[in-house]
Structure 1
Amino acid sequence: MTTARTGALLGCIADDFTGATDLANMLVRGGMRTVQTIGVPRGDEPVEADALVVAMKSRTIPVADAIAQALAALDWLRAQGCRQFFFKYCSTFDSTDAGNIGPVADALLDALSDSFAVESSLTSEQQTGADAFTIACPAFPENGRTIYRGHLFVRDLLLNESGMEHHPLTPMTDANLVRVLQQQTASKVGLVRYDVLARGVMAVHEAFNALRRDGVRMAIADALSDDDLYTLGEACANLTLITGGSGMALGLPENFRRAGLLTQTADAGQLPPVEGLSAVLAGSASKATNAQVAAWRESRPAFRIDPLAVARGESVVEEALAFAREHLSSAQPVLIYATATPEEVKVVQRELGAEAAGHLVESTLASIARGLRELGVRKFVVAGGETSGAVVQTLGVHTLRIGAQIDPGVPATATIANKGETRFALALKSGNFGSVDFFAKALRHLNGAST
């Protein structure tokens, strides 16, 4: 029997848009009805869901702004009645030496310090100053992200040898996550090792307590398999704040079931139908998205955005929309992309500057998305977290219902529209996620959901 409750159970804050849908996908798979908001909603009207995910665009903004946004999201989630909170970031721990993972986690810990649950095995003396504790675990074994002795691997490669060292905004040159996180925070950072996880939930509880007694405020947690994530999830049942990648959410729904707060929901991922034309927009420069673009171009129409041409003032947006209009007239989906190799990205960044180049690509693809909407496109597949954020904002999307998984980490979604508003079906993909044929697969999925 379930316990009567009001409001959502789990409140999540994600530092980019595709990361938010990635996390929401995991929660739906666990049977939680999940709603994702684009930014912090205005007002405090209750949202009917088991889990709420607030999608921010804060991964690469100034630290003070990222903290302010996260705290605003936390206030809204607390007003919605959430009992536990999750700060979600990328499974490749995308950040810089300045942040934003460490500073945001610190701010959330401080804000929640009045409501932290502390294991009863701690004495009152041990609890003093030790209750604000959380873990950091970006592992996502299903997508090849594992953590061993505090080091993050992308499949068989250390993070700093995986291609992430070339990321244009957050180059990851160190795979030691304890060291990376410690550079971002004055809080003491520890480690929960794989051999502790192998001994089960009670051993992890004991490790948490020992770390607290040693003054540790955040601990990187190893994870080599989904079993490790289920163990960690159960061990975190009494933590008010958890931080990590979407994989950390695997074990969280069952905690609420054990507490009698959540029933098994077979249709948690059911979406309403959406009619209209289809298009793919790609702004990510990741290896996975490059391969997906190449696969699409073998047999389908595609238009490449040249950022340097945009910077010269050429009519790139108009040309892209003319290209799209030609193919959409026969209901043929199109790909419009700014995806490039690391070498090509460096050339553009030398010419325009890294931040300006990124903003230029995002704003160009957002303008194209706006034009595609006018052409009748209602189903969008978008590759890249920053690109996804720009696209959903320009489309006026505020809230998404999360549907079934397309590929690991990427669900189908549909907008929750008020009467008279346009409804969209969206697949928002992190640059590194998805199979080589993801674009075509995602469109089939969105089209199938609308019939």
Structure 2
Amino acid sequence: MTPRPLPPGPLVAFYGDDLTGSSAAMEVLAFAGLDTVLFLAPPTPERLAAFAGHRAVGIAGMARSQGPAWMDAHLPPVFRLLAGLGAPVAHYKVCSTFDSAPHVGSIGRAAELGAEVFRVGAESWIPMLVADPGMGRYQSFGHLFAMAGPDGHRLDRHPTMARHPVTPMDEADLGRHLARQTALPVGLVDFVAMKRGEGSARLARARAAGARIVSLDVLDHETLVEAGRLIWEEGGSPTFTVGSQGVGAALVAWWREAGLLPAAPAIPVPPPVDRIAAVSGSVSPVTAGQIAHAVQNGFEGLRIDPSLAVDPAAWEREVGRAGEAALAALGRGRDPLVYSAAGPDDPAVAALRDATRTAGLSEEVVNDRIGAGLGTILNRVVRQGRLTRAVISGGDTSGRVAARLGIDALAALAPMAPGAPLCRAYTDDGGAGLEIALKGGQVGGPDFFVAVRRGAPTSKAG
């Protein structure tokens, strides 16, 4: 079979359902040698023109923390914008742990809306690829597994995802999990068929049985290449896909296997910096370990009380107090790290939940305030401290914080940990001074914050 050639112009256009996940998708493509830009909001034609010639264009969103009604209002215009770019692959990027539920972050509803805009009829299919071995995510017979430290866990038994505060995972079979969110039939190409060279035949059977979404098992490089081949060679025109950064990894793997893309170029190593600042809204135990390591290595851990966010006036005072404390830490030669919780068992998590319920507020409203407050703190510290590098931790936090920094676009500079590159931040006034790393709660080795300061990749993550 002669491989389908790579056309000129954008190859991949993607929308990420949160910011840190979007940066993971950007990283895969950028470090493969494809010029990639990630916008933090749908760009104007003029803003797009500033990045003309890029081979991948992404838009970071917040669908992961929103309900179906929000998706109905906001996703179709974004999908139409992506369709207008003319890329052969359009990608709805989801978390590699499939964070979703019928009422929040519904991947099923997003797939339905994408199918309408990209005209995925009964004669076509939507590839779904969630696994990514480079991130410690593996799928076998439709079940997703994820690493936690040195150990792998089925997702419904994962120490973090089974206890996620918003979308706890109680089903590792992604087809079953997705069936709660959409009536679109889901099929599977399992890794055995892919290993035996029967991927195309298995795909044909799934489609003949009525599958509109077809999930692709990936366990290793060989199955990753085969998944990329199925997407690129047997997808629609354009191909609308749903999945993690594994979609980009699979495409790159196939393009290289087929001789369409050269080996990855050398990636420059950024120099260390004397001082950085960080904020965290994550409740992951991985982040809790990273905070503890940072405090032992030159950072000053500064708690902010998230339960005060139910009262705007009290929260404003708390944000001001934490900002002053962070600047004072800089003055003492320490790197400020402002955080709302240290792991899921931190009493602050339960206190926030109780305060939100007592105040009669939605979690969305309170989380927006917390993210905006952390953004206000980081913006103040970066500007008054004249810092050139910063870290934001927390997938649901990062977009809100970045907005307060005036960032409208990112480009990957260097890998820090799989799924969390160091990025160049752009502002719509043409500024491009700040280097920033955005990481999901479960991403990175224990020394992630320290690694960003020194400009070298983090130790091996679980």
**Range of TM-score over shorter length:** 0.7 to 0.9
1:289–1:339 Cα contact (<8 Å) kept: no
SS at the partner of 2:407?
Answer: coil
Identify the range of structure 1 (356-365 vs 3-12) with the bigger mean alpha-carbon deviation: 3-12
- Per the alignment, residue 460 of structure 2 pairs with none
Q: How does 1:325-344 map to 2 (within 5 A)?
A: 325-329=327-331, 332-343=334-345, 344=347
CA displacement at 1:215 relative to structure 2: 0.9
SS at the partner of 1:358?
Answer: helix
Query: Is 1:63 equivalent to 2:55 in the alignment?
Result: no
- Per the alignment, residue 373 of structure 2 pairs with 364
SS at the partner of 2:334?
Answer: coil
Q: How does 1:230-245 map to 2 (within 5 A)?
A: 230-238=225-233, 239=235, 240-245=239-244
- Per the alignment, residue 157 of structure 1 pairs with 153
Q: How does 1:226-265 map to 2 (within 5 A)?
A: 226-238=221-233, 239=235, 240-253=239-252, 255=254
1:274–1:424 Cα contact (<8 Å) kept: no
- Per the alignment, residue 121 of structure 1 pairs with none
Q: List gaps (5 residues or longer) in structure 1.
A: 117-128
Please tell me the residue identity of whatever aligns with 1:405: P
Check 1:441–1:272 CA distance in 2 against 1; reply closer, same or farther (3 A cut). Answer: closer
- Per the alignment, residue 351 of structure 1 pairs with 355
SS at the partner of 1:211?
Answer: helix
| 1:112 counterpart (118, 141, 155) | 118
- Per the alignment, residue 10 of structure 1 pairs with 12
CA displacement at 1:228 relative to structure 2: 1.6
SS at the partner of 2:232?
Answer: coil
Query: Is 1:103 equivalent to 2:128 in the alignment?
Result: no
Please tell me the residue identity of whatever aligns with 1:234: R
Give me the whole-angstrom Cα distance separating, in 2, the residues matched to 1:3 and 1:219: 24
Question: CA-to-partner distance for each residue in 1:107-159, whole Å, 9 max, x for gaps?
Answer: 1122112xx6xxxxxxxxxxxx5333112221122332211221112232221
Give me the whole-angstrom Cα distance separating, in 2, the residues matched to 1:66 and 1:228: 32
| 1:177 counterpart (154, 174, 177) | 174
2:274–2:453 Cα contact (<8 Å) kept: no
Identify the range of structure 1 (405-414 vs 134-143) with the bigger mean alpha-carbon deviation: 134-143
**TM-score when scaled to structure 2?**
0.85
Question: CA-to-partner distance for each residue in 1:241-286, whole Å, 9 max, x for gaps?
Answer: 221111232121355568887666626x669999895201111101
- Per the alignment, residue 205 of structure 2 pairs with 210
Check 1:254–1:176 CA distance in 2 against 1; reply closer, same or farther (3 A cut). Answer: closer
- Per the alignment, residue 27 of structure 2 pairs with 25
Give me the whole-angstrom Cα distance separating, in 2, the residues matched to 1:331 and 1:77: 45
Check 1:274–1:434 CA distance in 2 against 1; reply closer, same or farther (3 A cut). Answer: closer
Query: Is 1:141 equivalent to 2:133 in the alignment?
Result: yes
Question: CA-to-partner distance for each residue in 1:355-409, whole Å, 9 max, x for gaps?
Answer: 4443332122122123223312331111111211011111111111112211111
Give me the whole-angstrom Cα distance separating, in 1, the residues matched to 2:112 and 2:416: 34
Question: CA-to-partner distance for each residue in 1:141-189, whole Å, 9 max, x for gaps?
Answer: 2332211221112232221221212212212121121111111111111
Identify the range of structure 1 (350-359 vs 36-45) with the bigger mean alpha-carbon deviation: 350-359
CA displacement at 1:216 relative to structure 2: 0.5
**TM-score when scaled to structure 1?**
0.87
Query: Is 1:401 equivalent to 2:396 in the alignment?
Result: no
Please tell me the residue identity of whatever aligns with 2:225: Y
| 1:50 counterpart (49, 55, 58) | 55
Identify the range of structure 1 (101-110 vs 349-358) with the bigger mean alpha-carbon deviation: 349-358
- Per the alignment, residue 420 of structure 2 pairs with 410
Check 1:417–1:317 CA distance in 2 against 1; reply closer, same or farther (3 A cut). Answer: closer
- Per the alignment, residue 124 of structure 1 pairs with none
Query: Is 1:290 equivalent to 2:300 in the alignment?
Result: no
Check 1:261–1:42 CA distance in 2 against 1; reply closer, same or farther (3 A cut). Answer: farther
Query: Is 1:130 equivalent to 2:137 in the alignment?
Result: no
Check 1:274–1:40 CA distance in 2 against 1; reply closer, same or farther (3 A cut). Answer: farther
1:15–1:89 Cα contact (<8 Å) kept: yes
Check 1:442–1:227 CA distance in 2 against 1; reply closer, same or farther (3 A cut). Answer: farther
- Per the alignment, residue 188 of structure 2 pairs with 191
Calculate the aligned-residue CA RMSD, in Å. 2.8
Please tell me the residue identity of whatever aligns with 1:242: T
Please tell me the residue identity of whatever aligns with 2:340: A
Q: List gaps (5 residues or longer) in structure 2.
A: 358-362, 458-462
Question: CA-to-partner distance for each residue in 1:34-58, whole Å, 9 max, x for gaps?
Answer: 1111121022643331111111111
SS at the partner of 2:276?
Answer: strand
SS at the partner of 1:82?
Answer: coil
Please tell me the residue identity of whatever aligns with 2:115: L
Please tell me the residue identity of whatever aligns with 1:65: W
2:272–2:454 Cα contact (<8 Å) kept: no
SS at the partner of 1:31?
Answer: coil
Please tell me the residue identity of whatever aligns with 1:32: L
Check 1:221–1:419 CA distance in 2 against 1; reply closer, same or farther (3 A cut). Answer: closer
Check 1:143–1:272 CA distance in 2 against 1; reply closer, same or farther (3 A cut). Answer: closer
Give me the whole-angstrom Cα distance separating, in 1, the residues matched to 2:454 and 2:226: 35
Give me the whole-angstrom Cα distance separating, in 1, the residues matched to 2:54 and 2:255: 14
Check 1:260–1:225 CA distance in 2 against 1; reply closer, same or farther (3 A cut). Answer: closer
CA displacement at 1:421 relative to structure 2: 3.0
CA displacement at 1:427 relative to structure 2: 0.4
Check 1:167–1:186 CA distance in 2 against 1; reply closer, same or farther (3 A cut). Answer: same
Please tell me the residue identity of whatever aligns with 1:390: R
